[in-house]
């Protein structure tokens, strides 16, 4: 737990909103303290959930703890503020999975959030391109075509941020990194949120979609982060969207 909370000490690490998203994705929002600095909230939430885990009559708490640990690990690695090998060794010693998501049940929170994102996309014309890329990426995952999935998830992110930037008034000729920079410069994304997105996009495009480079664990990491970032940003910036597009599913 200390390795997962220490990167937030002295206000470092991802933002409060990013922390809240990870807890929500793990269906563990009730365990996250509302008050305190980032480190205190993360550590407090982990301890409260861990105290519930291990009860054979309530196995759902074990699943939530595993999902929360995985989500925090993914977020911290994308930010580059944690030693991956040290974290992996520590969590393995504690009997927990990290970002690799090897047991099948560990993927359930990602699937749930993916369904949540699909409802956020809805049938809105502005998200047509992003939705198309995301659906292609999902189909590629289902057939274990990891290289194709990587490229499509990154494209889904690009298209989502482009749509949201243009919705807020960004010039139509600005796309990709330029559109995301416009969102940051105009106050729609906090600096730490923008840095988190920038880090992920750099990671997501690191190997491209070349055959033979990407494997399942790498693709699932990209899938996890892309889904979370798109969901978070749509909820943050598309508050004026039609009511019929608001999701019925709790992330």
Structural domain includes residue 181? yes
Q: Check whether residue 109 and residue 53 sit in a common domain.
A: no
- Angle of CA points 100, 231, 7, to nearest 5°: 55
Q: Check whether residue 65 and residue 82 sit in a common domain.
A: yes
- Angle of CA points 27, 41, 5, to nearest 5°: 95
- CB atoms < 10 A from the CB of 211, how many? 9
Which of 57, 75, 99 delimits the end of a domain? 99
Q: What is the pLDDT of residue 18?
A: 83
The CA distance from 26 to 100, in Å, is 16
In the chain, count H helices and then E strands.
11, 0
How many structural domains are present in the chain? Answer: 2
Q: Check whether residue 144 and residue 67 sit in a common domain.
A: no
Q: What is the pLDDT of residue 131?
A: 92
Which of 78, 99, 120 delimits the end of a domain? 99
Q: Check whether residue 143 and residue 205 sit in a common domain.
A: yes
Q: Check whether residue 129 and residue 238 sit in a common domain.
A: yes
Domain interval for residue 156: 105-245
Picking from 70, 23, 62, the residue whose alpha carbon sits closest to that of residue 220 is: 70
Q: Check whether residue 114 and residue 193 sit in a common domain.
A: yes
Residues of the chain with pLDDT under 70: 78-79, 84-85, 88, 91-113, 206-214, 239-251
CATH at residue 120: 1.20.120.330
Express each pLDDT in 221-243 by its tens digit: 888 889 889 988 898 888 644 44
Q: Check whether residue 137 and residue 62 sit in a common domain.
A: no
**Which DSSP letter does residue 246 get?**
S
- Angle of CA points 99, 117, 225, to nearest 5°: 25
Structural domain includes residue 12? yes
Residues 6+ apart with CB under 8 A from 75: 14, 18, 22, 196, 225, 228
Q: What is the pLDDT of residue 84?
A: 67
Q: Check whether residue 66 and residue 162 sit in a common domain.
A: no
Q: Check whether residue 129 and residue 227 sit in a common domain.
A: yes
Q: What is the pLDDT of residue 242?
A: 40
Q: What is the pLDDT of residue 159?
A: 95
Q: Check whether residue 222 and residue 130 sit in a common domain.
A: yes
């Amino acid at each position: 737990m200390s390795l997962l909370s220490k990167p937030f000490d002295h206000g470092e690490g991802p933002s409060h909103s990013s922390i809240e998203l990870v807890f929500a994705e793990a269906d563990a929002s009730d365990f996250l303290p509302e008050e305190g600095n980032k480190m205190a909230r993360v550590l407090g939430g982990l301890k409260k959930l861990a105290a519930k885990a291990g009860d054979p009559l309530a196995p759902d708490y074990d699943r939530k703890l595993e999902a929360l640990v995985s989500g925090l690990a993914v977020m911290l690695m994308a930010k580059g503020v944690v030693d991956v090998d040290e974290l992996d060794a520590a969590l393995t010693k504690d009997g927990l999975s990290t970002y690799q998501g090897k047991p099948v049940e560990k993927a359930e929170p990602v699937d749930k959030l993916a369904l949540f994102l699909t409802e956020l996309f809805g049938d809105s014309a502005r998200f047509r391109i992003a939705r198309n890329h995301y659906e292609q990426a999902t189909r590629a995952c289902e057939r274990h075509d990891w290289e194709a999935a990587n490229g499509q998830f990154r494209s889904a992110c690009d298209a989502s941020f482009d749509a949201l930037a243009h919705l807020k008034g960004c010039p139509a000729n600005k796309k990709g990194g330029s559109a995301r920079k416009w969102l940051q410069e105009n106050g729609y994304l906090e600096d730490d949120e923008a840095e988190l997105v920038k880090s992920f996009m750099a990671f997501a495009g690191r190997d491209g979609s070349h055959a033979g480079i990407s494997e399942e664990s790498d693709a699932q990491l990209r899938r996890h982060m892309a889904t979370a970032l798109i969901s978070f940003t749509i909820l943050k910036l598309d508050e004026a969207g039609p009511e019929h597009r608001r999701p019925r599913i709790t992330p």
